[in-house]
Amino acid sequence: MAIEKLRGKVNHLKTSAKQGTAAFRLDGRNVIVPHDLVDKVREGEDIEVAGTISKGELHAMAVRDVKQDRISHVDVTMYVFLIGIAGFLWALCGVLGLRAMGTGAIITESVDDIVAIAGFITVLMAIRHLSLINKASNQLKYPWL
């Protein structure tokens, strides 16, 4: 997925208490901001956002307040924690799954292998999302790149 960047004044800001997100119009497009960045966006404010496009809406991962030249991005703590837990399960169950291979057990039917594969996929997806957050933040920090 490519990172898109928009700049303009925030219009029609609506916050959702249930989901903790905010939606608004910016440069004629719909933008969704996660709960981490909701307090960084105010009606009529001149901002720049970077994120991914999904179903015609930009899902912001980084916000830059043009007036104050302040950049904020999605908190990555939970992604790092997820990588640690999923990586541990991947390694633990992967090693246990390798032990079953020597006994002649069918690997694809073992719970260990399923957990190891799920852990591996989770690690890859979390790293991909961290990379997208980093790219979005860098596009706002270094616009000449």
Residues 6 or more apart in contact with residue 59 via CB below 8 angstroms: 32, 34, 51, 52, 53
Label residue 125 by pLDDT band (50, 70, 90): very high
Choice between 100 and 47, residue whose per-residue pLDDT is larger: 47
pLDDT tier, 126 (very low <50, low <70, confident <90, very high otherwise)? very high
Interstrand relation of 4-9 and 11-16 (parallel, antiparallel or unpaired): unpaired
Q: Report residue 133: phi and psi, to 5°.
A: -65, -45
Is 125 buried (19+), middle (13-18) or exposed (0-12) by CB count in 10 A? middle
**Angle separating helix axes 111-141 and 77-102, nearest 10 degrees:** 150
pLDDT digits (tens, 9 = 90+) for 27-82: 888 888 888 888 888 888 888 898 888 888 888 889 888 888 888 888 888 889 99
Q: Residues 55-84, buried b or exposed e (16+ Cβ, 10 A)? A: eeebbbbbbbbeeeeebbbbebeebeebbe
Residue 106 has pLDDT above 80, yes or no: no
pTM of the entire structure? 0.80
Per the structure block, which two tokens stand in for 73? 């991005």
Angle 53-66-29 from CA coordinates, rounded to 5°? 30
Task: Give dist(CA 23, CA 11) in Å, integer.
Answer: 9
